[in-house]
Structure 1
Amino acid sequence: MHIPATTLTQSIFCFAFCAAIVWFSGARLAYLVDDLADRFKMAKSLMGLLVLSLATSLPEVATTLSAAIQQSRDLVLNNLFGGIALQTAILAMSDFWARGAITNYPRKANHALEATLLVFLLSVALIIINLGETFVLWGVGLGSCLIALLYVAAIWLLRRYDASSDWVPVDLPDPDPLPFPAPSGLAESGNASLIWQSLAACAAILLFGLLIVVFAQRIADQSGLGTGFVGVTLLAAATSLPELTTSITAVRIGAYTMAISNIFGSNLIMLVLVFPADILFRAGPILQGTPPMVSLALSFGIAVTAIYLIGLIVRRKPKLGFVGLDSILVLLTFLASMAAYYYVR
Structure 2
Amino acid sequence: MDIPVTTLSQSVLLFALCAAVVWFAGARLAYLMDTLADRYHLAKSLVGLLVLSLATSLPEVATTLTAALQQARDLVLNNLFGGIALQTAILAMSDFWARGAITNYPRKANHALEATLLVLLLAIALIICNLGETFVFGGVGLGSVFIAVTYAGAIWMLRRYDDSSDWVPVDLPDPDPLPFPAPTGLGARSNAALIWQSIAACLAILIFGLLLVLFAERIATQSGLGTSFIGVTLLAGATSLPELTTSITAVRIGAYTMAISNIFGSNLIMLVLVFPADILFRAGPILQETSKTVTLALSFGIAVTAIYLIGLIVRRKPKVGTIGLDSVLVLITFAGSLLAYYYVR
Report the TM-score when normalising by structure 1: 1.00
CA contact (8 A) 2:136 2:142 kept: yes
CA distance in 1: counterparts of 2:84 and 2:18, whole angstroms: 22
CA contact (8 A) 1:36 1:194 kept: yes
How far 1:322 sits from its partner (Å)?
1.7
CA distance in 2: counterparts of 1:177 and 1:286, whole angstroms: 45
CA distance in 2: counterparts of 1:258 and 1:138, whole angstroms: 39
**Secondary structure at 1:11's aligned position in 2?**
helix
Matching residue of 1:36: 36
Residue identity in the other structure for 2:292? P
CA contact (8 A) 2:65 2:276 kept: yes
Residue identity in the other structure for 2:66? S
CA contact (8 A) 2:26 2:245 kept: yes
**1:212-251 equivalent positions in 2, closer than 5 A:** 212-251=212-251
CA distance in 1: counterparts of 2:331 and 2:147, whole angstroms: 27
CA distance in 2: counterparts of 1:152 and 1:112, whole angstroms: 18
Residue identity in the other structure for 1:217? E
Residue identity in the other structure for 1:59? P
Matching residue of 1:283: 283
Matching residue of 2:195: 195
**1:56-135 equivalent positions in 2, closer than 5 A:** 56-135=56-135
**1:1-345 equivalent positions in 2, closer than 5 A:** 1-345=1-345
CA distance in 2: counterparts of 1:47 and 1:27, whole angstroms: 15
CA contact (8 A) 1:177 1:255 kept: no
CA contact (8 A) 1:144 1:278 kept: yes
Runs of 4+ in 1 over 6 A off after TM superposition: none
CA distance in 2: counterparts of 1:320 and 1:167, whole angstroms: 28
CA contact (8 A) 1:213 1:238 kept: yes
CA distance in 2: counterparts of 1:250 and 1:178, whole angstroms: 12
How far 1:255 sits from its partner (Å)?
0.1
CA contact (8 A) 2:98 2:252 kept: yes
CA distance in 1: counterparts of 2:44 and 2:272, whole angstroms: 23
- 1:193/1:177 Cα in 2 relative to 1: closer, same or farther (>3 Å)? farther
**Secondary structure at 2:2's aligned position in 1?**
coil
CA contact (8 A) 1:18 1:211 kept: yes
How far 1:72 sits from its partner (Å)?
0.1
How far 1:134 sits from its partner (Å)?
1.1
CA contact (8 A) 1:48 1:259 kept: yes
Q: Deviations along 1:242-263, whole A, 9 cap, x unmatched?
A: 0000000000000000000000
How far 1:112 sits from its partner (Å)?
0.1
Q: Extract unaligned runs of 5+ from structure 1.
A: none
Q: Deviations along 1:119-143, whole A, 9 cap, x unmatched?
A: 0000000001111111100000000
Residue identity in the other structure for 1:36? L
How far 1:40 sits from its partner (Å)?
0.2
How far 1:185 sits from its partner (Å)?
1.0
CA distance in 2: counterparts of 1:291 and 1:319, whole angstroms: 37
CA distance in 1: counterparts of 2:171 and 2:294, whole angstroms: 40
CA distance in 1: counterparts of 2:179 and 2:22, whole angstroms: 24
How far 1:113 sits from its partner (Å)?
0.1
CA contact (8 A) 1:104 1:312 kept: yes
How far 1:177 sits from its partner (Å)?
3.5
CA contact (8 A) 2:99 2:177 kept: no
How far 1:117 sits from its partner (Å)?
0.1
How far 1:281 sits from its partner (Å)?
0.2
How far 1:178 sits from its partner (Å)?
2.4
Report the TM-score when normalising by structure 2: 1.00
**Secondary structure at 2:187's aligned position in 1?**
coil
**Secondary structure at 1:10's aligned position in 2?**
helix
Q: Deviations along 1:63-87, whole A, 9 cap, x unmatched?
A: 0000000000000000000000000
Residue identity in the other structure for 1:245? T
**Secondary structure at 1:182's aligned position in 2?**
coil
CA distance in 2: counterparts of 1:102 and 1:3, whole angstroms: 41
How far 1:179 sits from its partner (Å)?
3.4
Equivalent pairs counted in the alignment come to: 345
How far 1:195 sits from its partner (Å)?
0.3
CA distance in 2: counterparts of 1:20 and 1:232, whole angstroms: 21
Residue identity in the other structure for 1:296? L
CA contact (8 A) 1:57 1:266 kept: yes
